Chain A
Amino acid sequence: DTEVTQTPKHLVMGMTNKKSLKCEQHMGHRAMYWYKQKAKKPPELMFVYSYEKLSINESVPSRFSPECPNSSLLNLHLHALQPEDSALYLCASSQGVAGFGNEQFFGPGTRLTVL
């Protein structure tokens, strides 16, 4: 099973709302990632979890809060977002052994609109 799933597919939220994005993989991968992608741009890395520990935070604003409850699950909690945070949020996973350049497998993304 080489699948990464993400829910929801679409999310519309107001600036005062709190919502969460969910990502799941059952490939036994130990590294999981959150990316943000604006229209006509490449994905931008936000966070990396390696063996359930946060290993990279690319200076992401605190209104984005990641969580890795277990090796298969990754959440992104959203609070007090701005309209400019509207984007496609992609989750990915890889075998997670640093230095081996393992390919990342991506989910279908959550298209977020902040009103």
Chain B
Amino acid sequence: AQKVTQAQTEISVVEKEDVTLDCVYETRDTTYYLFWYKQPPSGELVFLIRRNSFDEQNEISGRYSWNFQKSTSSFNFTITASQVVDSAVYFCALSELEGNEKLTFGTGTRLTIIP
């Protein structure tokens, strides 16, 4: 069965520090997709990135970067030069090839950026 673990329940950093959110997943499929979503206090989940299991290339988007390592089943998310607007709950999620895009979410990491 698929499973996503976000061991960090809460993280607080001072503004402008870098922060990495960890995500470890389990799946028996060779084809799967990994996602990161942001949920600010307003409640809406905002899609950040999707990565398929055949693409281990790391990605950078502005201050955000993602490190996908199949060898350790991890898909970590780094925010560089954090800002107060980055304060939110971040969810890592997994979906497998078959399953109608059913997402398995991790328990989330609450990130607080201290001004």
Contacts and interface: CB of A to CB of B under 8 A. Distances in A.
A78 B106 CA distance: 28
A56 B100 CA distance: 9
Contact of A99 (B37, B97, B103): B97
B47 to A, nearest CB: 5
B57 interface: no
Interface residues of B, number: 25
A98 interface: yes
A84 to B, nearest CB: 19
Contacts of A107: 44
A96 B105 contact: no
Contacts of B47: 103-106
B105 A42 contact: yes
B101 A43 contact: no
B101 A42 contact: no
B101 A98 contact: yes
Interface in B17-53: 32-33, 35, 37, 42-47, 50, 52
Interface centre among A42, A48, A106, A107 (most CB of B within 10 A): A42
Interface of B: 32-33, 35, 37, 42-47, 50, 52, 91, 95, 97-103, 105-108
Given A41-B107, A45-B102, 18 more contacts: A31-B101, A41-B108, A43-B91, A50-B100, A55-B100, A56-B102, A92-B45, A96-B101, A98-B99, A99-B98, A100-B101, A102-B101, A103-B35, A103-B47, A104-B101, A104-B103, A108-B43, A109-B43
